[in-house]
Structure 1
């Protein structure tokens, strides 16, 4: 899952980005409204953390212009604790949730998980597909009760496929959602990661749909299982 953090305080921006990266997300960063708006309009993100008080262009304006241009990614706004009016403006502009400064980083992580969960139609932090369980809070994968150790990119790929289980996902979509802006994107590496995941999981979960991409779904004999 790929996220964008727009915050002009460089230390806070770095802290948020690091916390998100440690939780298994690919993260891009911007430090003013103009740069943030450009990235939000030209890149593909699963969610955005957006500060309201930005230089060059304020966060409310950025958000309003995104929504006017049909950019529908979930947005978590950062507001000043005592500025209730900012929260109202944010929601009216199209925000999905907010966190008031100063905040605990765990709250930001929890709210991001909730936004991603709702966007993909899941009710809890645990996503189940056949015998594979993905705990998005703990960043843990379990198959038939046994933990599976994955690299960061393997985890991102599996998480994206399982968030969208039952739907065919193209290679280009995967690339847009699991790599940050600065990563050298090569579609051939997706096939490598899929091969590694299949070997590590040891179950028939990731299916190749020839000419279209990949789909996470339990094997036919498991199709009645919980997702």
Structure 2
């Protein structure tokens, strides 16, 4: 899952990015409304975490611009403006949820999971491939009922492959899902993550197939 975090407080932004990375999210940061608007024109995100008080273009304008284009990307407002009129106004403008600062990271993650479930039209989905089980609600992978404990980047790769199992996922799509403004993943690094995942998935009855020149595919190994 790739998120856009729009927050001008760099210390808070770095803290949130670190914690969300640990939970398996790829996070791209923007520190102004103008920067966020540019990224939203060129990139796709699973959700946007949006502060309202931003230098230059305010967060409200970013939200309006997104909805004016009929862009359905889920938006979670994170703001110190916590009055009921503020909350109602921004929900009416198209925000999907509103979390007042200061907040606990566990509440942020719970609201984010709920928002992503609603946007995907699924309630607590569980995905299977061979003996692999992915519980989207808790964002946990299990193999033969044992917790897989992938690294954040391994988690992001395996989640995308699980959601598109049986279909080819290009190297570019996988690299883009891991890429943030300050840290992009090369095709060579991706191959290393795939190799590590293959080792962790041994005995699962599932395999990651390399399709030369195309990308990767997660399939159920019928020979297992």
1:190 aligns with 2:190: yes
Aligned to 2:8: 8
Change over 3 Å in CA distance of 1:103–1:62 after alignment to 2: same
Which segment drifts farther, 14-23 or 134-143? Answer: 134-143
Is 1:99 paired with 2:63?
no
More deviation, 130-139/93-102: 130-139
CA 1:130/1:98 → structure 2, altered by over 3 Å: closer, same or farther? farther
How big is the shift at 1:132? 0.7
1:3 CA drift (Å): 1.4
Rate the CA distance shift 1:182–1:87 in 2: closer, same or farther, 3 A: same
Q: 1:50 to 1:154 in 2, by over 3 A?
A: same
Unaligned runs of 5+ in 2: none
Q: CA RMSD in A?
A: 2.8
94-103 vs 111-120, greater mean Cα deviation: 111-120
Change (3 A) 1:143 1:152: same
Tell me: CA distance 1:221–1:50, structure 2 relative to 1, closer, same or farther (3 Å).
Answer: farther
Q: Which whole-Å CA distance do the structure 2 matches of 1:121 and 1:167 have between them?
A: 21
Give 3-state SS (helix, strand or coil) of 2:194's partner.
helix
1:89 aligns with 2:89: yes
Counterpart of 1:146 in structure 2 is 146
Matching of residue 68 in structure 1 with residue 56 in structure 2: no
Please give the secondary structure, in 2, of the residue aligned with 1:88. Answer: helix
Is contact 1:32–1:57 with CA below 8 Å preserved after alignment?
yes
Mapping of residues 161-172 of structure 1, within 5 Å: 161-172=161-172
- Change in Cα spacing, 1:183 to 1:79, as seen in structure 2 (3 Å) is closer
Pairwise CA distance, 1:198? 2.0
CA–CA separation in structure 2 for the residues paired with 1:161 and 1:70: 28
Task: Give the corresponding residue for 2:48.
Answer: 48
Q: Name the structure 2 match of 1:213.
A: 215
In structure 1, how many angstroms separate the alpha carbons of the residues matched to 2:127 and 2:39? Answer: 29
In the alignment, structure 1 segments of 5+ residues that lack a partner are: 223-227
Summarize deviations over 1:61-80 as a string: whole Å, max 9, x none: 10221233454322111244
Correspondence for 1:24: 24
C-alpha distance after superposition, 1:26-65 (max 9, x if no partner): 2122222111222222223221100122221111210221
Provide the C-alpha distance between the structure 1 equivalents of 2:181 and 2:212, rounded to a whole number of angstroms. 28
192-201 vs 80-89, which moves further: 80-89
Q: TM-score, normalised by structure 2?
A: 0.82
Counterparts in 2 of 1:140 and 1:83: CA distance versus 1, 3 Å = same
